[in-house]
Amino acid sequence: MPGQHSVNLAKDPWNTFNSSFSRTDLPVITFTELMLALGIVTALSIPRQSWKYVGLLATATHELGHAFAAVTSGQRLSGIRLRLDHSGTTTTYSRSKLATVWSCFWGYPVPAVVGAAFVWCGFTGWGPAALAASTVALAATLLFLRNPAGFLITAATIGGNIALIFLVPDGFVGHVSVILGLVLLVGAVRDLIKLMHVHLRRRDRLASSDAYLLYRTTAIPSVVWILLFTVLVGGSWLVAWQPISAVLPAGV
């Protein structure tokens, strides 16, 4: 039945994992719960000490965005490095300038895109499937990680996903999916603001900016790339808002 594991985990973990790709009963997510989750996520994103840990999820997703874009454009993916200070590097090789631009672009927008997908999946009964799919994607990246911190961050995320899939009722996983989506959506906005701050006030750090690297590659001004990032992040919030709006009280 939807929302229930149909096999014994101890005897058949593979089928248990596969069953998580099925749609479950829709979780009952209240307006109060949603506002509380959004408030907590936003509060955690402001202080540096709390975001130091919570924001690692957005950092990992950012670099995975570069990696996925590189693979889909035919580039050779050499390695991914994730650091505990929220910096990261994805190394690719390509003879095509267009492919290079494509992979460089999909860093800042991807946390928001994935976040919107998690929110939508959580509301529509696909929360366990979202976690299972992300687990598969993260497991694939283990082949390309090139530093201990990267392995630590990724392995911890995979372990958390597996624990949720195997040990937590499917209905509750839908709630978790929505919260994780909000973390990524808020993180995307925070990182976008940080990027703008680099271009306006910390120009000594421009070398770390994807927008600046895109400018160096294409001669298109950094502000254009930042605007494109902003449009995609805003669009992701709009997509996430569709299921969220369904639980809003009348008149809101």
Give the separation between CA 131 and CA 143, rounded to whole angstroms: 20
Nearest Cα to Cα of residue 2 among 28, 23, 21: 23
Instruction: Tell me the per-residue pLDDT of 156-201, one tens digit each, with 9 for 90 and over.
Output: 999 999 999 998 888 899 999 999 999 999 999 999 999 999 999 8
Residues in the chain: 252
pLDDT at 1 over 50: no
pLDDT at 7 over 50: no
pLDDT at 6 over 80: no
- What is residue 82's predicted lDDT score, i.e. its pLDDT? 94
Name residues whose C-beta falls within 8 Å of residue 139's C-beta, 6 or more positions apart in sequence: 158
Domain residue ranges in the chain: 29-61+108-245
Output the pTM of the full model. Answer: 0.90
Give the separation between CA 121 and CA 146, rounded to whole angstroms: 31
The pair of structure tokens assigned to 238 is 């709009």
- What is residue 18's predicted lDDT score, i.e. its pLDDT? 87
Residue 130 in contact with residue 177, Cβ under 8 Å? yes
